[in-house]
Amino acid sequence: MNKILIALLCFGLCVASSAQKPLGPFFELGFPFYQTQVDLTNIADSPADNFAVRGIVLPLGPEHVIAFDQDLLRVAGIWRVSPGESLVTLVNMAQTSYSVPNRKCGPNHSKPTGDVLFASELKPGVATDVRQLATDPRRPNVNKDLGRGPLPFQDGRFEGIEIIGEKAVLTYRAGQTLIREWHEIKATPEQTVIFRHLEIAPHTEPVHFSCGAFDWKLDHRQRAARKAQNGELLSIRTNSDSLILGTDSGALVASFAPQTELRRVSLALEISGRQKKDVPLAATPPLGDKRASRRWPVSLNTEVALNQVKANGLVLDRVVLPETNPWGRRVRSADIGFLNADRAALVTYDGDVWFIDGLGDPSRATVRWSRFASGLHESLAIAIANGVVQVATKNGLVRLYDRDGDGEADWYENFSDAMRQSQSTRSFPLDMDIGPDGSTYVSAGGIALGGGGTPFGGGVARVSSDGRTAELVSQGGREPYVTVHPTTGFITGTDQQGNYIPSSVCYSIRPGDHFGFGVEQPPKLTPPLAWIPHTEDNSSASHVWLTGEQFGKFNEKLLHLSYGNGGLFLICPDLAAPIPQAAVIPLGFDTRVPLLQGRMHPNGGSIFLTGFKIYDSRAFNQWGLARVRPSGAPITSAVNARSCAEGVILEFATPLEPESVKPEQIIAQAWNYKRSGTYGSGRYRKDGSAGMDPLGVSQTVLSEDRRAVFVHLPDTSATMQLEVRHSFKFENGQTSEGATYFTIHQLHKIDLPSAGFTNVDLSKTSVVATHRIEGPASAELGEKLSVAMGCIACHSVDGSREGRTGPTWKGLFGSDRALTDGSIESANEFYLRDSILNPQKKVVKGYEPAMASYKGVLTSEQIESLILYIRTLK
């Protein structure tokens, strides 16, 4: 066993074993706040629709929690934490998968884990006009999704969270009046008092705070009855004559008159027994001082395992994550951004931001990690904006500042919450990039919304450089990612095969584009730059522009990342075509990481790749951080490709051996996809039948510099997918084998002599070579196909189910299958063949209809081979 294989196996064992190490709780003890959705709807006596889509939970001692609604600037609820319980029920995606990485969330949302002591209605919590407290002024969504975004800017705005000592200080505005709020609890056996301390800046308009209904659940006639029944009484008092408690339309309101100086006042929420005494309230305490020491003082060193994978002119280094750390934190690497050549910021899905120092030297064997921030809401993307760390979360775009210089973030600025966040547990801000003008582009998932939810679900939005506005650039994505070229501003994106999305896909994104997910007849269905066969990339992630001269022939190319298999692909846009289109070149480089994001290093000499796994991926590791850089070895794949009216051109980094460039060394076939509401698509010939059309090759012409080949395909035509496989040799004798996938919207001519081909005779139309897929059926072929086609990513062959979206193949043949429609089917050869060709027709109970049809992808002999292989798995 060679050293590289041993190292990779150790990498996998290290990641796999990390799940067995003791973990701290998801909500880290002692941290003063956490962003999370909180659902108080349908909890006993709670107001209807009391849902904080962008909630902030604030632990008060070991037994009480406040939930603040960032959008409506209100205290949404207060509850007791049951002994041994978390702050909220751990059912959202990051929470439920924290200790069991492949566990997925359902439709339920995080709820209080104990008795609710106070809850408010879904209305503003503060206003300069008392009438504004009576109704929710935000625009509703068409499907009653409660993610209605923040208050109108002129009414109020959440500014951010400041950490002072052990306190989380909420900062927001009512109109133009700045308010800071923090909380305190004092408890005795007879009485529990929860304080809302308020610091209100000088203001010329009155400020009104909603404090809920009379005694929240009770009107004044019910108070005596409740006290007699259970001995509890909930009431609100203040310590300031300036803060007047009154009622408006049955609600309790605390009003603060205009003031010419900054004032501090307190509201006390009292939960008392029968012997309640109105003890005079003390003056509002000062905010206090910063911590005397860092919260996370320990820095950690981890190894950089160099030269772990070498292929196609590239080499991969593995940066070991600090999974063994004093705080028991899971480190699921979601994205990375560079503050300078030596320091990067890495964000985890579980809401932490780490600094990594030592990345400037590619030969360095270790790097140093230090914690910078925590408490963020299912964070999947990070970017550096004007030298500041910016994180995309469900609570919006958060910018992190270290204002006291101790190396840890103490100001979590709400840079922008202009995008409406859906209440769906599976609606995430997936990707983020900064444009050349300073605006931020954010893509949001729409898979669970069917294209609905908020207007931003499944869309790409442009957030203005000041963070105040967000406008939709495109809509109709399933799980879209977005990337912006750092100098030209050219916007590209990806999406994943699914309903209405027939295969993996790469887009050029322009204003007004619609990609069709969840809509039978979209107003404007945008053609992609390129389709990517599901067999090559079964789940697309983000892009990276390779903008470093050290990458040689890869420089200024678009790198496409695969979550589904950890592979890398080169996207070659042809923007001169009548309709922009592209070619896709698989680079044959297995990172072994379920890729989500990638970033260029500032020196242009490497890219850093991050990702983690919850849903299925063929990638070997559960999560990881990797650096990919040029190795100095020859590039064996094509480095550029484009189609033209007469065929295609493949370009290479080094000269080819002329004798090897023959038509017989080319295999070409074309097919189309069908867009429908079913999951994915089979492959279809031009006549509409299932299958692929083989294309004859007339001639192959080598360019004058011997670095490009014109492949003459006389019968080529517009097609969704053209596969051209080649097998050539370079001058040094090294083999170049691979496939290139073209999307051709419209044939267009190019000047072949200008492209280096001066001796092309286009009158040659006789076909020299054709290709048809043939082969005898066998169980051995079926086993090979199960790997090559990615079947084993979803179906285990050993009976295991963890991390798989499909039933195991072990013991499948001949067994009885309980289906979602209540029927029972025997898994005979007819059932298996139908499941391969029409997978959504008969879905096994307990599984989602997520498999694509392999109609036209597999021949009858290949399907028979898979069935023969499944029969052997007893």
For residue 499, the cross-strand partners are 679
Angle at 512 between CA 506 and CA 513, to 5 degrees: 20
Q: How far apart are CA 730 and CA 722, in angstroms?
A: 24
Contact between 524 and 514 under an 8 Å Cβ cutoff? The reply is yes
Condensed to tens digits (0 to 9), the pLDDT of residues 605-637 reads 999 999 999 988 889 899 999 999 999 999 999
Lowest mean pLDDT segment, chosen from 138-142, 341-345, 849-853: 849-853
| Residue 528 pLDDT | 97
| Residue 801 pLDDT | 76
Q: How far apart are CA 155 and CA 140, in angstroms?
A: 17
Structure tokens at 828: 């005979």
Q: Which of 680, 677, 681, 673 is nearest to 518 (CA)?
A: 677
Structure tokens at 800: 């295991």
First and final C-alpha spacing in the chain: 30
| Residue 447 pLDDT | 81
Query: In a 3-state reduction of DSSP, which class is residue 298?
Result: coil
Side-chain half-sphere exposure of 490, counting CA atoms within 13 A = 15
Q: Which of 92, 81, 84, 80 is nearest to 36 (CA)?
A: 92
Greater confidence, 330 or 188?
Answer: 330
- 565 by Cβ neighbours in 10 Å (0-12 / 13-18 / 19+) ranks as buried
> Which of the four pLDDT bands, split at 50, 70 and 90, describes residue 770?
low
Contact between 814 and 828 under an 8 Å Cβ cutoff? The reply is yes
Contact between 585 and 569 under an 8 Å Cβ cutoff? The reply is yes
Q: Which of 594, 597, 651 is nearest to 619 (CA)?
A: 594
3-state secondary structure 362-424: CCCCEEEEEEEECCCCCCCEEEEECCEEEEEECCEEEEEECCCCCCCCCEEEEEECCCCCCCC
699-703 mean pLDDT: 95
Lowest mean pLDDT segment, chosen from 2-16, 474-488, 855-869: 2-16
780-807 mean pLDDT: 80
List Cα–Cα distances, 328 to 166, 276, 322, in angstroms.
20, 43, 10
Q: How far apart are CA 669 and CA 693, in angstroms?
A: 5
Contact between 116 and 108 under an 8 Å Cβ cutoff? The reply is no
| Residue 211 pLDDT | 84
Q: How far apart are CA 212 and CA 267, in angstroms?
A: 12
| Residue 75 pLDDT | 95
pLDDT at 655 over 90: yes
State which H helix or E strand residue 10 sits in: helix 3-18
| Residue 221 pLDDT | 37
Condensed to tens digits (0 to 9), the pLDDT of residues 832-847 reads 888 888 887 888 888 8
Contact between 174 and 129 under an 8 Å Cβ cutoff? The reply is no
pLDDT at 749 over 80: yes
- Tell me the percentage of the chain whose pLDDT exceeds 70: 91
Q: Which of 281, 290, 194, 276 is nearest to 240 (CA)?
A: 281
Q: How many residues in total does the chain contain?
A: 874
Structure tokens at 568: 């890398």
| Residue 485 pLDDT | 96
Q: Which of 291, 378, 359 is nearest to 91 (CA)?
A: 378
State which H helix or E strand residue 232 sits in: none
72-95 mean pLDDT: 93
Highest mean pLDDT among 434-443, 680-689, 790-799 belongs to 434-443
3-state secondary structure 584-628: EEEEEEECCCCCCEEEECCCCCCEEEEEECCCCCCCCCCEEEEEE
Q: How far apart are CA 294 and CA 579, in angstroms?
A: 56
Structure tokens at 442: 């954010």
Contact between 156 and 126 under an 8 Å Cβ cutoff? The reply is yes
Cα dihedral sign for 256, 257, 258, 264?
negative
List Cα–Cα distances, 709 to 163, 313, 738, 742, in angstroms.
62, 20, 14, 15
Query: In a 3-state reduction of DSSP, which class is residue 268?
Result: strand
Long-range contacts formed by 240-245: CB under 8 A, 24+ apart: 240/265, 240/266, 240/284, 243/198, 243/267, 245/211
Lowest mean pLDDT segment, chosen from 272-281, 321-330, 361-370: 272-281
Q: How far apart are CA 739 and CA 121, in angstroms?
A: 59
> Which of the four pLDDT bands, split at 50, 70 and 90, describes residue 859?
confident
The position carrying tokens 């270790």 is: 366
Contact between 625 and 345 under an 8 Å Cβ cutoff? The reply is no
Side-chain half-sphere exposure of 137, counting CA atoms within 13 A = 18
Condensed to tens digits (0 to 9), the pLDDT of residues 239-274 reads 888 778 776 656 788 899 999 999 999 998 887 655
Query: In a 3-state reduction of DSSP, which class is residue 12?
Result: helix
Q: Hey, what's the torsion of the CAs at 626, 628, 632, 634, to 10 degrees?
A: 110
| Residue 449 pLDDT | 62
Contact between 474 and 510 under an 8 Å Cβ cutoff? The reply is yes
Residues 6+ apart with CB under 8 A from 305: 7, 11, 317, 318, 319, 320
| Separate counts of helices (H) and strands (E) for the chain | 7, 53
Lowest mean pLDDT segment, chosen from 17-21, 301-305, 390-394, 499-503: 17-21
Greater confidence, 810 or 227?
Answer: 810
Q: Which of 538, 290, 478, 482 is nearest to 402 (CA)?
A: 290
| Residue 301 pLDDT | 98
pTM over 0.95: no
844: DSSP letter? B
Contact between 568 and 588 under an 8 Å Cβ cutoff? The reply is no
Q: How far apart are CA 858 and CA 863, in angstroms?
A: 6
| Residue 279 pLDDT | 62
Structure tokens at 403: 């204002």
Residue-averaged pLDDT of the chain:
89
| Residue 7 pLDDT | 40
DSSP string computed for 136-182: --SPPPTT--S---SPPTTTEEEEEEEEETTEEEEEEEETTEEEEEE
| Residue 4 pLDDT | 37
3-state secondary structure 797-829: CCCCCCCCCCCCCCCCCCCEEEECCCCEEECCH
pLDDT at 680 over 50: yes
- Tell me the percentage of the chain whose pLDDT exceeds 90: 68
| Residue 249 pLDDT | 59
| Residue 794 pLDDT | 80
Condensed to tens digits (0 to 9), the pLDDT of residues 212-245 reads 754 444 443 344 334 434 434 467 788 888 778 7
82: DSSP letter? P
| Residue 276 pLDDT | 55
> Which of the four pLDDT bands, split at 50, 70 and 90, describes residue 327?
very high
